[in-house]
Amino acid sequence: MAKPTTDQGVTTAAGSARTHAPLIELRNVTKVYGGRVLSRNATVALDDVSLTVAGDTPQIISVVGESGSGKTTLASLLMGFISPTSGTILYQGSDVASLGGARMREFRRDVQAVFQDPFSVFNPFYRVDHVLTVPIAKFRLAKSRADRHDLMVSALETVGLRADETLGRYPHQLSGGQRQRVTVARALMMRPKLIVADEPVSMVDASLRATILESLRTVNQTLKVPILYITHDLGTAYHVSDHILVMYRGTIVEAGDVESVISAPKHPYTQLLIDSIPWPDPQRPWGQERTGRGEKVTVPEDHHGCRFADRCPAVMARCVENAPPPYLTGPDHAATCFLHAEQPALPKERLSELLTVSAPKS
């Protein structure tokens, strides 16, 4: 399988070469809220992140991290809802900031969102059909009423809903899980090239989560749509995704094949995340300490090194001097941590190559 690289067919003009460009590319993107980077009220939500979603490999990539790590900011940037403070976001090679009307519509159609709150999408005064018929009309997805009906039925069936039990009802007559699956159906009607699902199951009962995740997986597998699954829940990330990105305070600290990252996490932060979960596996100790003690280091508040240094049990003097690059800890696994400095370093721009089936050459 061809791996995406940052110079693969990228062009800034909306020309024929754009079809070879990755679907979405974040290049050295920083997002600061509340002022400039150095101002007192500023929050650096995303710090120099590069990420490529090729769009031609039907995989599920999870983005995990604790609250405030920048997951939603990353998702909002990818969908063009907010602009970066610095860096560039490209859609098929064109800067999203300069997309014209027709290209912007194409972008809006290609990248679909499934939000955390399944209530927010519905107007309680309209039947459920409304959230499906509006995009059909807006994007001219059907030629006739019969076409429109068929499209809705088939989308609902793909997510495991029966049209006769869904259409014609008001939102309050559906369960939270059914409502969320209608929003997945709405996204897939658009034949998107990417679905960004931001905490899609965090507001529904645990008993319904599996059905929603299953419907996302079905969409991914039957329609070959890549999905970016944003979550703070490592357990569901492990179950649904092929690859995983772990974020900490606006940076990507670990990335790779989900099995490899969860079974053998290399970054002390990921280890902490995983060890704080009571996995149903007696072989996996809970709350263990893996890295051993670090050096006696005073971590100044304004240092420019690793953002995890002040919490890291394995902190070393060099961690507060410089920020580490990602190191390749396996063929499909990298950790942004000096504990692995004997491994080959990977430029951050190439981290996304780990999120495809084959691994990059070091």
Ligand X SMILES: Nc1ncnc2c1ncn2[C@@H]1O[C@H](COP(=O)(O)OP(=O)(O)OP(=O)(O)O)[C@@H](O)[C@H]1O
Q: Which stretch in 65-73, 144-152, 168-176, 351-359 sits in contact with ligand X by CB under 6 A?
A: 65-73
How many other β-carbons are positioned within 10 Å of the β-carbon of residue 341? 12
Taking the least distance from each CB to ligand X, the nearer of 248 and 327 is 248
Beta carbons within 8 Å of 252's beta carbon, 6+ residues apart: 49, 51, 245, 246, 326, 336, 348, 351
203 near ligand X (CB under 6 A): no
- Member of 2, 19, 33, 86 binding ligand X (CB under 6 A): 33
Q: At closest approach, how far in Å is the CB of 72 from ligand X?
A: 3
Interface of this chain with ligand X, residues 66 to 95, rule: CB under 6 A: 67-73
Q: Minimum CB separation from ligand X for residue 86, in Å?
A: 16
Only segment of 62-70, 105-113, 141-149, 286-294 that touches ligand X (CB under 6 A): 62-70
CB 194 within 8 A of CB 227: yes
Q: Give yes or no for residue 232 binding ligand X (CB under 6 A).
A: yes
79 with 196: CB under 8 angstroms? yes
Residue 233 interacting with ligand X (CB under 6 A): no
Q: Identify which of residues 116 and 218 has a Cβ nearer to ligand X in the complex.
A: 116
Give the binding range for ligand X (CB under 6 A) out of 64-72, 143-151, 251-259, 327-335. 64-72
Q: Does 200 bind ligand X (CB under 6 A)?
A: no
Please, what is the minimum distance in Å from the beta carbon of residue 47 to ligand X? 11
Among 5, 12, 43, 175, binds ligand X (CB under 6 A): 43
Q: Does 34 bind ligand X (CB under 6 A)?
A: yes
Q: Which residue's CB is nearer to ligand X, number 238 or number 338?
A: 238
First to last CA, the chain: 17
Total binding residues for ligand X by CB under 6 A? 13
Minimum distance, C-beta of residue 68 to ligand X, in the bound complex (Å):
4
Least distance to ligand X from the beta carbon of 335, Å? 19
Interface residues with ligand X (CB under 6 A)?
33-34, 43, 45, 65, 67-73, 232
